Amino acid sequence: MKRLCKRAGVRTFGILAIRHLTASLLAQEVVPMVQIQAILRHRNLAVTAGICTS
């Protein structure tokens, strides 16, 4: 990932950042939190809600 980011000329980021972005974009599109939870495979809805609100 580090090499790909360097090649693209962007700041290094990881898989968790992609998951966070996905959750945030879905929340902005008013996708129900339980669906976002299922997509991210979180066991606890509070974890999903915390990611979407940060």
- pLDDT by 10s per residue, the chain, length 54: 899 999 999 999 998 899 999 999 999 999 999 999 999 999 988 888 887 776
For residue 52, the model assigns a pLDDT of: 73
pLDDT of 48 reads 85
- Domain membership of residue 5 (yes or no) is no
Asked whether residue 2 is assigned to any structural domain, the reply reads no
Asked if residue 47 is part of any domain, the answer here is: yes
pLDDT score recorded for residue 54 = 64
Number of domains composing the chain = 1
**Assigned domain for 1 exists:** no
Would 41 be classed as within a structural domain? yes
Q: Which residues form the domain of 24?
A: 14-53
pLDDT (0 to 100) of residue 30 = 93
Q: How many CB atoms are closer than 10 A to CB 40?
A: 16
Q: Calculate the dihedral angle through the C-alpha atoms of 21, 53, 33, 13, rounding to the nearest 10 degrees.
A: 20
Asked, for residue 25, whether it belongs to a domain, the answer is yes
